[in-house]
Amino acid sequence: MNATTGSTPAPAPDTATGWLATARHCPSPNCDARPLETLVDLLVIHCISLPPGEFGGTWIEQLFLNQLDPAQHPYFRAIANLRVSAHLLIRRNGELVQYVDLHQRAWHAGVSTFNGRTDCNDFSIGIELEGTDNSPFTDAQYERLIPTTQAIRRLFPAITPERILGHQHIAPGRKTDPGSGFNWERYLGSLYARRW
């Protein structure tokens, strides 16, 4: 237990498998091996809602599992054939769902650049928050995101504060998430307070 905050950080992912015991496991086929000897040193925060602006339901999971039915909503016709994933999703109620083991490359960043390096999927972890770019995220999501970040860093200590960014930062002009609804000060401030 952290004497400063009284909080207990989440356990680290299983070193061998890359899966978090605290998450519901829902393996996505949309992943592959990282390039050999890749140093994972970037954490990317995203947000997603399906249909846009609606929360709950199984649509995000169906998208990441290639099971989204385009007949269920007009918006789905444009995205049903996408092959995308994230390592983790945090629902509005704080539920943590893991789709890809942390050692694998999830397909979350797309065309992206960080510190002159392209293809950020190669060296990053992607966390989706259920939400929109311009609406506040829930207390339950921050309460889950903060210890989850601590857990990830125990497996990948090269992820330092300046290497935690939004999708908007690595794909400017193309992506805007997690947007103005995400409280970076609250998130990073809590990590510092917990001596991450």
CA distance 136 to 179: 10
Q: Is 128 a catalytic residue?
A: yes
pLDDT tens for residues 149-174?
999 999 999 999 999 999 999 999 99
Reported as a single tens digit per residue, the pLDDT across 89-144 is 999 999 999 999 999 999 999 999 999 999 999 999 999 999 999 999 999 999 99
Mean pLDDT of the chain, nearest integer:
93
Catalytic residue among 37, 61, 128, 143: 128
What per-residue confidence (pLDDT) applies to 195?
65
SS3 133: coil
Record the tokens describing residue 185, joined without a space.
């000060």
What does pTM read for this prediction?
A: 0.94
User: Which whole-number Å values give the CA distances from 188 to 32, 89, 99, 120, in the listed order?
Assistant: 30, 19, 24, 21
Task: Give the bridge partners for 106, in sequence order.
Answer: 31
| pLDDT above 90 coverage of the chain, percent | 88
